[in-house]
Homo-oligomer: A and B are copies of this chain.
Amino acid sequence: MKIAILSPIAWRTPPRLYGPWEQVASNIAEGLVAKGLDVTLFATGDSVTGGKLEYTCEKPYGENSAVDVKVEECLHISHLFERAGEFDIIHNHYDFLPLTYSKLVKTPVLTTIHGFSSPLIVPVYKKYNSNSHYVSISNSNRHPELNYMATVYNGINSAEFSFVEKAKDYLLFFGRIHPEKGTREAIEVAKRCGRKLIIAGLVQDADYFNKHILPFIDDKHVVYVGNCGPAQRNELLGKAAALLHLISFEEPFGLSVAEAMCCGTPVIAFDRGSMPELIQHEQTGFVVKDEEEAVASVAQLSTINRAACREWAVKMFSKEKMTNAYLNLYEQILKA
């Protein structure tokens, strides 16, 4: 089976630092390569894959403000679709734009919907609803007007996340610094518990960072360590007493939640989006309704068995499980 994986080009595949869609596209590509499949990854020119790499865009546009994003993306997408005949299946991780090329080629296109950035993009998914193949990354993220083949949870490379039996005392925020990710709420909860908070992630909303986060950073109780790559991520996630994931939006998945548990670290999350699917309440973390409950959960952390967190993550969110699920879907599509 010849498989084309269309990755975004905002970041390298796999990302050096932030880049969840690129990370998942990479995990699928490398998972398929490991199974001996013929994989061509369409990504940025600096990407790394065990399969074949195809690119039109040398460097990620997230690292280069001198490019026109629309130009970069239409050249990238059309490069794949113009070669569609060489592949048995196209696996799209590039949101809605590739769908509008999909009816012009014979090769079937499976689209992993990584989330809806706005309700305004739904009309494109609706247009291609009947002749495309959609996969949701959590049951919670399904749009009621779309048809889905399956939900396939994002899978992570468990070899990149070391199990830590005995954690340190600090709480961790790991993700984009943005109001919807709850950085401010994490600071508040840590303060109320008298615990140290480490913050790691890309500053996506500079105003929010300057107004609501920066004033609390004292390098002692609240520490900001920047946007982290894989090694530092493994270290920070593994040694945390808990990951605080106090989101205020319907998050489709949340890679850091799976990654934390993979290290044995429980997650305290607000009950939004996919959180109840990702976390086993009182087993691998706490799914809570407000800061009050989050503070109470920190006091309960000793009741969590860190080995159970690891076991759950490996069972539910492994790269291998995800790869097998997608391979099964490709086969279903090709049989039909």
Chain A contact residues, CB within 8 Å of chain B: 67-68, 70-71, 74-75, 77-78, 81-82, 96-97, 100-101, 103-105, 118, 120-121, 123-124, 127
Contact = CB atoms under 8 A, between A and B. Distances in A.
A-side interface mostly: helix
Given A67-B120, A118-B68, A120-B67, A74 B96 contact: yes
A56 to B, nearest CB: 8
A81 B104 CA distance: 8
B105 A75 contact: no
A123 B71 contact: yes
A121 B105 CA distance: 25
B97 A82 contact: no
A123 B96 CA distance: 23
Given A75-B100, A75-B127, A104-B104, 9 more contacts: A68-B118, A70-B97, A71-B96, A71-B123, A74-B124, A77-B100, A78-B101, A82-B103, A101-B101
Contact of A74 (B97, B105, B120): B97
Nearest to A66: B120
A265 B206 CA distance: 53
